[in-house]
Structure 1
Amino acid sequence: MIQHRESLPIILLAGPTAVGKTFLSMELARRLGTEIVNADSMQIYRYMNIGTAKPTREERALVPHHLLDVVDPDEAFDAARYLELAAPVVDGLHARGKIPLVVGGTGLYLKILTRGICPATPGNPDIREALKREEKERGLAEMHAELLRVDPVLGRKIHPHDRQRVLRALEVYRITGIPLSSRQEQHGFQETIYPSIKVFLYRERDEIYKRINERVLMMMEEGFLDEVRHLMEMGFGPELRPMQSLGYKQLVRHLLGEGTLEEAVEQIQRETRRYAKRQMTWFRGDPEFRWFHVHDVEEIMEWIQNVVAGIS
Structure 2
Amino acid sequence: MTETAKKKIKLLVIGGPTGSGKSDLALRLAEEIGAEIVNADSMQVYRGMDIGTAKPSPEELARVPHHLIDIVSPNQDFTASEFRCAATAAIEDIDRRGKKAIVVGGTGLYLRALLEGLLDSPTGDPELRRQFDDVPGEELHRRLLLADPETAARLHPNDRVRLIRALEVYLQTGRPISAFRAEHGFSGAYFDAFKAAISVERQELYRRLELRVERMIAAGLVDEVKGLLASGYRRDMKAMRSIGYKEISAHLDGKITLDEAVTLIKRDTRRYAKRQMTWFARENEIYWLEYPTGFASILGHVIEFFG
Query: Counterpart of 1:70 in 2: which secondary structure?
Result: coil
**2:250 is aligned with 1:249:** no
Q: Which residue in 2 is equivalent to 1:91?
A: 92
Q: Which residue in 2 is equivalent to 1:306?
A: 304
Structure 1 unpaired stretches of 5+: none
The letter for the 2-side match of 1:84 is C
TM-score after normalising by structure 2? 0.93
Q: 1:79 to 1:131 in 2, by over 3 A?
A: closer
**2:172 is aligned with 1:197:** no
**2:195 is aligned with 1:186:** no
Q: Which residue in 2 is equivalent to 1:285?
A: 282
Return the alpha-carbon distance in structure 2 between the equivalents of residues 286 and 16 of structure 1.
13
Return the alpha-carbon distance in structure 2 between the equivalents of residues 266 and 141 of structure 1.
25
Return the alpha-carbon distance in structure 2 between the equivalents of residues 142 and 251 of structure 1.
29
Q: Which of 195, 213, 225 is the aligned partner of 2:210? A: 213
Query: Counterpart of 2:103 in 1: which secondary structure?
Result: strand
Query: Counterpart of 1:135 in 2: which secondary structure?
Result: coil
Kept after mapping to 1: 8 A contact 2:141/2:163: yes
Kept after mapping to 2: 8 A contact 1:5/1:193: no
- Deviation of 1:181 (Å): 2.6
Q: Which residue in 1 is equivalent to 2:224?
A: 227
**2:114 is aligned with 1:113:** yes
- Deviation of 1:141 (Å): 4.6
Query: Counterpart of 1:227 in 2: which secondary structure?
Result: helix
- Deviation of 1:283 (Å): 0.8
- Deviation of 1:221 (Å): 0.3
Kept after mapping to 2: 8 A contact 1:116/1:191: yes
Query: Counterpart of 1:206 in 2: which secondary structure?
Result: helix
- Deviation of 1:179 (Å): 1.5
Q: 1:144 to 1:224 in 2, by over 3 A?
A: farther
Q: 1:156 to 1:267 in 2, by over 3 A?
A: farther
Return the alpha-carbon distance in structure 1 between the equivalents of residues 146 and 206 of structure 2.
34
Query: Counterpart of 1:12 in 2: which secondary structure?
Result: strand
What root-mean-square deviation, in Å, do the aligned CA atoms of Structure 1 and Structure 2 show?
1.9
- Report the count of equivalent residues: 305
Q: 1:25 to 1:134 in 2, by over 3 A?
A: closer
Q: How does 1:1-312 map to 2 (within 5 A)?
A: 2-4=3-5, 6-124=7-125, 128-136=126-134, 138-139=135-136, 141-295=138-292, 296-309=294-307
Query: Counterpart of 2:289 in 1: which secondary structure?
Result: strand
- Deviation of 1:102 (Å): 0.2
Return the alpha-carbon distance in structure 1 between the equivalents of residues 196 and 5 of structure 2.
21
Query: Counterpart of 2:35 in 1: which secondary structure?
Result: coil
Query: Counterpart of 2:100 in 1: which secondary structure?
Result: coil
Kept after mapping to 1: 8 A contact 2:289/2:298: yes
Query: Counterpart of 2:87 in 1: which secondary structure?
Result: helix
Return the alpha-carbon distance in structure 2 between the equivalents of residues 156 and 227 of structure 1.
40
Q: 1:157 to 1:21 in 2, by over 3 A?
A: same
The letter for the 2-side match of 1:260 is T
- Deviation of 1:162 (Å): 4.7
Query: Counterpart of 1:13 in 2: which secondary structure?
Result: strand
Return the alpha-carbon distance in structure 1 between the equivalents of residues 278 and 132 of structure 2.
31
Deviations 1:138-182 (A, max 9, x none): 445533432343233333544544544433322211111111232
Return the alpha-carbon distance in structure 2 between the equivalents of residues 254 and 141 of structure 1.
28
Return the alpha-carbon distance in structure 1 between the equivalents of residues 130 and 251 of structure 2.
24
- Deviation of 1:250 (Å): 1.5
Q: 1:7 to 1:176 in 2, by over 3 A?
A: closer
TM-score after normalising by structure 1? 0.91
Structure 2 unpaired stretches of 5+: none
Q: 1:48 to 1:214 in 2, by over 3 A?
A: same
Return the alpha-carbon distance in structure 2 between the equivalents of residues 145 and 255 of structure 1.
36
- Deviation of 1:109 (Å): 1.0
